[in-house]
Amino acid sequence: MKKGICQKKKKIYGFITVTDKGQIAIPIQLRKELDIGKGDKLIVIKRDDQNGVNLIKVGAVDKFIDKLSKE
C-alpha cells in the first residue's frame, strides 16, 4: 500500500469549479451520502503528493479521538 494515498473504493461525482473567492461547492449527491449539511465543519488536509486535498468531517475526528482515549 502506498503511504498517503487513499486505497478505498473511489467514486466520481462530476466536476467542481473554484470561484474567484477560492470557494467550491460539494456535489449534492456526495453531501447526501456523507450527511454533510449547512454549517458543518470540515478539516482540509493537503495530500503529500501535492495533487489535491482530503476533506474530513470534524465530528468523525472527534469520534476517533474519543475512541483512542478510551483504549
C-alpha 68/C-alpha 63 separation (Å) is 9
Question: Residues 22-37: pLDDT tens digits?
Answer: 999 999 999 999 999 9
Please tell me the chain's helix, strand, coil percentages from 3-state DSSP, rounded to the nearest 5.
30, 15, 60
C-alpha 33/C-alpha 3 separation (Å) is 26
State the pTM of this model: 0.68
Question: Residues 37-59: pLDDT tens digits?
Answer: 999 999 999 999 999 999 999 98
C-alpha 12/C-alpha 23 separation (Å) is 20
Q: What is the dihedral of CA 7, 1, 45, 21, to 10 degrees?
A: -60
